Amino acid sequence: MEKLFRFVGMLFPRWKQIGPIRAGQRRRDTPQSFGTSLSFLALPINARRRIWHLLPMATAPDRLHAPRPDGRVLRRERSRKAILDAFYALLESGEVSPSPAQVAERTGIAVRTVYRHFAEIDSLFDETTALLYANLRDLLSVEKPTGSLEQRAKALVVAHCELWERIAPFARARNYHAHRSDWLRQERDRTDRRVNGRIYDWLPELERAPASIRDAVEATLSFEHWDRLRGQQGIGPVRTAAAIEVSVLSLLTSLPR
């Protein structure tokens, strides 16, 4: 609005004084009332028409002039999301190494489009990891339990088994490719550190335990041990949690009370 009045002032010098006023001042020809002021009516008819033509553009909300989203950007984002969804769906189906052709077939897009968005499998795993952990906040931020050592250990086993059940497809594929990907090995190590940190947060008594006991508890609660029971031995989630609980509790019996 202020730019409009500067423009009008250049066209019509007697209008240089018209513009925003300070608090407490009164002026007849203010921007809010100049449409009916005598000064405005004294302008030539062509000048009035030009000002009225410019006024809506100067006073309309910014949202009315916001640029429309680029259709190409929207299509690119939709394709990228479809690729990520198809990739994880293939992992969930048991495919530990989905190929670009499989992803393209599942999404209905060209193989070259998959390569254009994700040239390497590391980039696919990177974004899949971010989406996965964003959806696992409820399991990663479980409130620390209270109670006896045995009660806290049982709660820890349940929390770990629920986490492994949710990320099993991704973790299996990650471990399958980790031998040839530095990034995936680092991601696996980050997950292990996060999980082991929760072990010692919930069971601080382990800090004073011998190294052999600590190592055994970490291995018992690891994804690899859980997957041996669930995947290779083919037992259900309840029996798997019960077997891990027995192992952990038997290891904790040697701790000083």
pLDDT of residue 239: 96
The predicted pLDDT at position 73 comes to: 76
The model's pTM: 0.63
- Amino acid at the residue 236: G
Domain ranges of the chain: 2-65, 71-119, 137-252
Q: What pLDDT, on a 0 to 100 scale, did the predictor assign at position 121?
A: 72
Q: What is the pLDDT of residue 71?
A: 73
Which residue in this structure is represented by tokens 């006991």? Answer: 213
Taking CA atoms, 176 is separated from 72, 92, 146, 153, in Å, by 35, 14, 37, 30
The one-letter amino acid code at 149 reads L
**Contact yes or no for 127/84 (Cβ under 8 A):** yes
pLDDT in tens, 109-163: 888 888 888 877 777 777 877 777 777 777 767 788 889 999 999 999 999 999 9
Q: Do the Cβ atoms of 200 and 227 come closer than 8 Å?
A: no
Q: Mean pLDDT, to the nearest integer, of 40-51?
A: 58
Across the range 215-226, mean pLDDT stands at 95
27-55 residues labelled b (16+ CB within 10 A) or e (exposed): eebebeebeeeeebeebeeeeeeebeeee
Q: Given a cut of 50, is residue 99 above it in pLDDT?
A: yes
Question: What is the spatial distance between Cα 257 and Cα 255, in angstroms, rounded to a whole number?
Answer: 6
Task: Pick the more confident residue, 35 or 239.
Answer: 239
Contact partners, residue 139, CB within 8 Å, separation at least 6: 159, 162, 163, 166
Residue 20 confidence (pLDDT) above 50: no
* In the predicted structure, residue 252 carries a pLDDT above the cut 50: yes
The single-letter DSSP state of residue 229 is I
> Given pLDDT bands bounded at 50, 70 and 90, which one contains residue 81?
confident
Radius of gyration, alpha carbons of the chain:
33
Which pLDDT value is given to residue 31? 45
Which helix H or strand E contains 32, and what residues bound it? none
CATH class, domain 71-119, is mainly alpha
User: What is the dihedral sign for C-alpha 80, 126, 142, 149?
Assistant: positive
Report the pLDDT value the prediction gives residue 23, as an integer from 0 to 100. 47
Task: Report the distance separating Cα 251 and Cα 211, nearest Å.
Answer: 12
In three-state secondary structure terms, 37 is coil
Q: Which of 36-40, 41-45, 52-56, 171-175 has the lowest mean pLDDT?
A: 36-40
